[in-house]
Amino acid sequence: MSQHESSNPYASPGEVKVVTTFGGRKICKVCPGCGGKEYKRKKPKRTVAFRSDRRCRACDTVYSVPTPVWAAIVFLLVGGGLAFVAGTFVLGVLALASRFPDHLGISIFISLAIAGVLGLAGLFAFFHGLRALFRPGSV
């Protein structure tokens, strides 16, 4: 590891954790370029951002801060709840369809498809919350 990388995402200015994500963003608590703590807020280009991006006053490096713990917990609760409700709905519809096979219509298949999509969205949100909580510098 170089002098600007460490395994601690909340490192001191002398040792900085840098994680590059999809858009090439640097995620860090302090400047990944120089370790400085002074910054100007910068409007993020992402659709979902809990905090503004930062531009270092010393070296002009743009970086993002990790997802806050409260946001990770919201992702866990909302995603887990959505996945649970969608899964329960799918199981209920399948149980009814097995008891009354003569009443199967297109609406049952549409309902199952919508519930499946919502369940997958809930699972993605849940796992994003886990990543944000247990690997705070990665998202």
Is there a domain that residue 102 lies in?
A: yes
Q: Looking at the structure, do residues 74 and 130 belong to the same domain, yes or no?
A: yes
**What pLDDT score does 103 carry?**
76
Q: What is the dihedral of CA 133, 67, 18, 10, to 10 degrees?
A: -70
Looking at the predicted structure, is the pLDDT value of residue 53 above 70?
yes
**What pLDDT score does 77 carry?**
97
Is there a domain that residue 139 lies in?
A: no
Binned at pLDDT 50, 70 and 90, residue 7 comes out as: very low
Prediction pTM value? 0.68
pLDDT tens digits along 58-80: 898 888 888 888 999 999 999 99
Looking at the predicted structure, is the pLDDT value of residue 101 above 90?
no
Is there a domain that residue 91 lies in?
A: yes
Q: Looking at the structure, do residues 42 and 82 belong to the same domain, yes or no?
A: no
Domain boundary among 18, 43, 65: 65
**What pLDDT score does 32 carry?**
84
Binned at pLDDT 50, 70 and 90, residue 132 comes out as: confident
Residue partners of 70: CB distance under 8 A and separation at least 6: none
Q: Looking at the 3D structure of the chain, how many domains does it have?
A: 2
Q: How many residues does the chain have?
A: 139
Q: Looking at the structure, do residues 43 and 19 belong to the same domain, yes or no?
A: yes
CB 63 within 8 A of CB 25: yes
Q: Looking at the structure, do residues 30 and 3 belong to the same domain, yes or no?
A: yes
**What pLDDT score does 1 carry?**
38
Q: For a pLDDT cut of 70, what percent of the chain falls above it? A: 81
Q: Looking at the structure, do residues 85 and 58 belong to the same domain, yes or no?
A: no
**What pLDDT score does 129 carry?**
92
Is there a domain that residue 120 lies in?
A: yes
Q: Looking at the structure, do residues 27 and 47 belong to the same domain, yes or no?
A: yes
Looking at the predicted structure, is the pLDDT value of residue 10 above 70?
no
Domain that holds residue 57: 1-65
Residue 126 host element (H or E): helix 106-134
